């Protein structure tokens, strides 16, 4: 896993007497549980599991980010907003990245409003799909 390789490099340069707080995905805990990563795991001081946000909180997050960027609340049409919220599944990072990608798609078409077509344009990119889904697509081709 590339993340663990980067983490190992960080640990080699990180002072031994310092504590470490990690924020990551649940899968990271699985990899840290492996014996080869015991030195990294032993230096973690604290971890917490963040529960996914509900749809209203996700929408509120998007609205606050739009306001902070001084963009209109109509930047995403209703269908696009619903698809972003459903696809992000309560994960703020996924939500933010999907919003950015959708904004880029709309900008490429010189549109001021993000539509469901723009969101779908991002969602069909390989990094948004699961590994199993990509394999099924390759087998079907």
Beta strand pairing call for 20-21 and 44-46: parallel
Dihedral angle at the C-alpha atoms of 38, 42, 46, 48, nearest 10 degrees?
20
pLDDT tens, N- to C-terminus, the chain (141 residues): 566 677 667 667 767 676 666 666 667 777 777 787 777 777 777 777 778 899 999 999 999 999 999 999 999 999 999 999 999 989 888 899 999 999 999 999 999 999 999 999 999 988 776 655 555 655 565
The residues facing 114 across adjacent strands are 76
Evaluate the CA torsion angle 42, 7, 28, 52 in order and state its sign.
positive
For 75, the token pair is 């930047």
User: Where are the CATH 1.10.8 domain residues in the chain?
Assistant: 55-128
CATH: 1.20.120, 1.10.8, 1.25.40, 1.10.10. Which one for 55-128?
A: 1.10.8
For 119, the token pair is 């969101």
pLDDT for the residue 139: 59
DSSP secondary structure string for all residues of 103-127: HHHHHHTT-SSB-HHHHHHHHTSGG
pLDDT for the residue 140: 64
pTM of the model: 0.66
Of the candidates 65, 101, 100, 95, the one whose C-alpha atom is nearest the C-alpha of residue 82 is 95
Model confidence over 85-105: pLDDT tens digits?
999 989 888 899 999 999 999
């Amino acid at each position: 896993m590339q993340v663990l390789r980067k983490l190992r490099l960080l640990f080699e340069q990180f002072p031994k007497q310092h504590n470490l707080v990690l924020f990551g995905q649940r899968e990271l805990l699985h990899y840290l549980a492996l014996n080869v990563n015991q030195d990294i795991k032993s230096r973690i001081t604290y971890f917490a599991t963040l529960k996914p946000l509900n749809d209203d909180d996700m929408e509120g997050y998007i609205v606050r980010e739009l306001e902070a960027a001084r963009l209109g609340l109509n930047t995403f049409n209703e269908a696009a907003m619903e698809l972003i919220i459903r696809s992000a599944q309560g994960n703020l990072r996924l939500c933010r990245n999907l919003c950015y990608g959708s904004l880029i798609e709309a900008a490429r078409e010189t549109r001021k409003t993000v539509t469901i077509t723009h969101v779908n344009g991002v969602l069909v990119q390989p990094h948004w799909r699961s590994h199993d889904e990509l394999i099924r697509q390759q087998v079907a081709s």
